[in-house]
């Protein structure tokens, strides 16, 4: 393939038919669909927003309805019985104002009415679950084949209403009754697939549908949504000339659901190929206000996010009344699994940012929230880059003092900061991460753990943070020198700068920024 083989980029297209008929790029996922159908019946998949879940569901819809021409040239074409066609009942909660009390119930009834109108089947029932059940049975009887049930964005009515807890709970309880209908009508169902961003606990939402197979972190389905390295090098080969392959990988690759390889968010890749420049495309489509406010209110430092540990239970479920930080960040795509750590009979997962886009953008959002001034923050970030470029450490000290002074006093008084040292270090880290610097936090050596290392412009900067009320002045620099943190970097043959940063709990600001060459 070459540039002459370029096709239409399917940006924003979630309809399989349109992608195939308009000669768009398409990454063939039909081998995975065949495996799902061959090995089971009821499935659940959680993936972050804009990861291709809706397109995957629509592909299955076209397959079960027997639209053979759309699948020519794809894996499943020669492995499927095209003489059999199944009725498909699809619910989609991607659009709607689910914060409004009673809206969800009305929305479901409207969707069921539309399905009845298209199929020519009328379900005799008053309640939504009853009507849903009646429709499944009626479709089965009319067509003579079992029904395929597909639910897209199954959890959006709950997630959208989290800021209105009473509505979120009502939506959750309503959906529990609706989804339980699937199990009670199993005899009429051929296949079920539910997708969403989150995984609500079986007790809270799936108590009536406890036969779902969760493939969220099943290694054999880790690439069921998203693009692999091979996909970029083969399917999208005509788009690669003129773009740095390593930069594409650093910016957008890195999502892992325990497969052998990590995947890219399709939305990022498609917009990169269209615009030919690197930006936070995925991140900018959804301002994580709720996420940022949750992190700050819980006192979660950004240093913690770069190396957080979660159990299988914490990552797989959450509920309206309690959302674990690890689950929220993992399921929404702001953290991903970087390794597993078996301990006894339990498995733990080490989480971190998936790539530069998320690390840089999330930290920028956190800083903007702290200062309340995105314009001022952008100016500070640009200034940080310029100062570090020429190693102007006096200027860096002044810049950070001005930044900490800009954080409203009320923010401090309204938040219980038990670990001041961790808080100041996290803000410092966010500052550097928001600019896109190469950062390693708590870098381990044989002599201990360094707080932060930054590599930039053929220089290495090693940071140690201290609160002076908890130690004597000069303690940060003394630790840097005594612990020999620079030793592991000597082989790089680059200038190594030791930077001891000290803060005052009383003034809530930086009071020392001591530097020395290693």
Q: How far is CA 21 from CA 64, 274, 386, in A?
A: 18, 20, 50
Count, in order, helices (H) and strands (E) of the chain: 21, 13
Helix (H, G, I), strand (E, B) or coil at 442: strand
> pLDDT at residue 371 above 90?
no
Instruction: Summarize the confidence of residues 244-259 as an average pLDDT.
Output: 96
Exposure string for 56-81, b = 16+ CB within 10 A, e = fewer = bbbbbbbbbeeeeebbeebebeeebe
Confidence of residue 412 (pLDDT cuts 50, 70, 90): low
Please answer whether residues 211 and 179 qualify as being in contact, where contact means their C-beta atoms are separated by less than 8 angstroms: no
What's 447-497 look like in SS3?
A: CEEEEEEEEECCEEEEEEEEEHHHCCCCHHHHHHHHCCHHHHHHHHCCCEE
Give the helix, strand, coil percentages of the chain, each rounded to 5. Answer: 45, 20, 35
Please answer whether residues 383 and 400 qualify as being in contact, where contact means their C-beta atoms are separated by less than 8 angstroms: no
Choose among 515, 466, 465: nearest CA to 495: 515
Q: Give the full edge-to-edge strand order of the sheet including 308-311.
A: 308-311, 346-352, 336-343
Confidence of residue 314 (pLDDT cuts 50, 70, 90): confident
Please answer whether residues 10 and 19 qualify as being in contact, where contact means their C-beta atoms are separated by less than 8 angstroms: yes
- Cβ-based neighbours of 368, under 8 Å, separated by 6 or more: 374, 377
pLDDT at 444: 59
Choose among 396, 472, 460: nearest CA to 428: 396
- Cβ-based neighbours of 507, under 8 Å, separated by 6 or more: none
Residues forming a β-bridge with 263: 255
pLDDT at 470: 58
What do you get for the CA distance between the two ends of the chain, in Å?
51
Query: How does pLDDT run across 10-38, given as a tens digit for each residue?
Result: 999 999 999 999 999 999 999 999 999 99
Tokens coding 330: 């993992």
Mean pLDDT score of the chain, rounded to an integer?
A: 90
Q: Give the full edge-to-edge strand order of the sheet including 438-445.
A: 438-445, 448-456, 459-467, 496-504, 509-517
Tokens coding 177: 């009754």
Same topology between domain 28-221 and domain 362-517: no
Rounded Cα gap, residues 20 and 68, in angstroms: 12
Instruction: Summarize the confidence of residues 419-447 as an average pLDDT.
Output: 79
- Cβ-based neighbours of 48, under 8 Å, separated by 6 or more: 197, 255, 265, 331, 332, 333
Helix (H, G, I), strand (E, B) or coil at 504: strand
* Continuous segment of H or E residues that includes residue 137: helix 128-143
Rounded Cα gap, residues 112 and 109, in angstroms: 5
- Considering the chain, what percentage of its residues have pLDDT values greater than 70? 93
Strands 496-504, 509-517: pairing kind = antiparallel
Instruction: Summarize the confidence of residues 431-451 as an average pLDDT.
Output: 79
pLDDT at 2: 55
Please answer whether residues 265 and 226 qualify as being in contact, where contact means their C-beta atoms are separated by less than 8 angstroms: yes
Confidence of residue 410 (pLDDT cuts 50, 70, 90): low
The domain segmentation of the chain, as residue ranges, is 28-221, 362-517
Q: Does domain 362-517 have CATH number 3.40.50?
A: no
Residue positions counted in the chain? 518
- Considering the chain, what percentage of its residues have pLDDT values greater than 90? 68
Confidence of residue 409 (pLDDT cuts 50, 70, 90): low
Helix (H, G, I), strand (E, B) or coil at 510: strand
> pLDDT at residue 413 above 70?
no
Rounded Cα gap, residues 78 and 303, in angstroms: 51
Tokens coding 337: 């699994």
> pLDDT at residue 416 above 50?
no
pLDDT at 4: 61
Choose among 219, 235, 233, 128: nearest CA to 175: 128
> pLDDT at residue 418 above 60?
no
Rounded Cα gap, residues 254 and 229, in angstroms: 10
Architecture of domain 28-221: 3-Layer(aba) Sandwich (3.40)
> pLDDT at residue 427 above 60?
yes
Q: Residue 443: how many CB atoms within 10 A of its CB?
A: 16
Exposure string for 194-204, b = 16+ CB within 10 A, e = fewer = bbbbbbbeeeb
Query: How does pLDDT run across 208-249, given as a tens digit for each residue?
Result: 677 889 999 999 999 999 999 999 999 999 999 999 999 999
**Phi, psi torsion values for 467, nearest 5 degrees:** -100, 125
């Amino acid at each position: 393939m070459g540039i002459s083989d370029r096709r239409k980029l399917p940006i924003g297209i979630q309809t399989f038919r349109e992608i195939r008929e308009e000669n768009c790029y398409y990454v063939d996922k039909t081998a995975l669909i065949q495996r799902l159908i061959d090995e089971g019946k009821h499935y659940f998949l959680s993936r972050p927003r804009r990861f291709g879940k809706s397109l995957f569901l629509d592909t299955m819809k076209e397959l079960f309805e027997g639209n053979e021409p759309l699948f020519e040239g794809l894996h499943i074409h020669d492995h499927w019985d095209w003489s059999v066609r199944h009725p498909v009942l699809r619910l989609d909660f991607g659009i709607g104002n689910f914060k409004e009390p009673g809206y969800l119930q009305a929305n479901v009834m409207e969707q069921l009415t539309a399905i009845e109108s298209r199929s020519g089947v009328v379900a005799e029932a008053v309640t939504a679950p009853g009507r849903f059940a009646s429709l499944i049975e009626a479709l089965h009887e009319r067509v003579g084949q079992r029904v395929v049930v597909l639910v897209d964005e199954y959890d959006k009515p709950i997630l959208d209403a989290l800021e209105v807890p009473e509505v979120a709970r009502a939506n959750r309880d309503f959906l529990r009754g609706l989804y339980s209908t699937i199990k009670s009508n199993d005899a009429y169902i051929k296949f079920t697939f539910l997708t969403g961003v989150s995984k609500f606990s079986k007790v809270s939402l799936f108590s009536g549908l406890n036969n779902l197979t969760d493939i969220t972190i099943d290694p054999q389905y880790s690439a069921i949504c998203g693009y692999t390295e091979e996909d970029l090098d083969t399917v999208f080969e005509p788009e690669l000339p003129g773009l740095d392959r390593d930069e594409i990988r650093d910016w957008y690759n890195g999502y892992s659901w325990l497969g052998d390889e990590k995947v890219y968010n399709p939305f990022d890749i498609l917009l990169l190929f269209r615009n030919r420049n690197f930006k936070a495309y995925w991140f900018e489509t959804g301002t994580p206000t709720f996420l940022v406010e949750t992190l700050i209110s819980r006192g979660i430092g950004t240093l913690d996010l770069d190396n957080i540990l979660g159990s299988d239970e914490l990552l797989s479920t959450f509920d309206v009344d309690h959302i674990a930080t690890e689950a929220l960040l993992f399921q929404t795509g702001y953290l991903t699994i970087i390794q597993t750590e078996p301990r006894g009979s339990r498995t733990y997962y080490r989480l971190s940012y998936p790539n530069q886009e998320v690390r840089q953008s999330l930290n920028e959002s956190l800083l903007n929230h702290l200062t309340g001034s995105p314009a001022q923050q952008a100016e500070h970030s640009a200034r940080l880059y310029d100062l570090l470029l020429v190693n102007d450490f006096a200027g860096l000290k002044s810049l950070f003092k001005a930044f900490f002074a800009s954080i409203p006093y009320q923010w401090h008084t309204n938040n219980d900061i038990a670990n001041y040292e961790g808080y100041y270090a996290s803000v410092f880290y966010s500052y550097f991460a928001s600019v896109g610097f190469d950062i390693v936090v708590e870098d381990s050596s044989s002599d201990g753990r360094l707080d932060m290392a930054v590599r930039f412009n053929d220089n290495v900067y090693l940071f140690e943070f201290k609160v002076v009320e908890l130690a004597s002045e000069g303690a940060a620099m003394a630790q840097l020198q005594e612990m020999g943190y620079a030793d592991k970097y000597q082989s790089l043959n680059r200038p190594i700068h030791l930077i001891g940063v000290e803060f005052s709990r009383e003034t809530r600001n930086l009071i020392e920024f001591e530097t020395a060459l290693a």
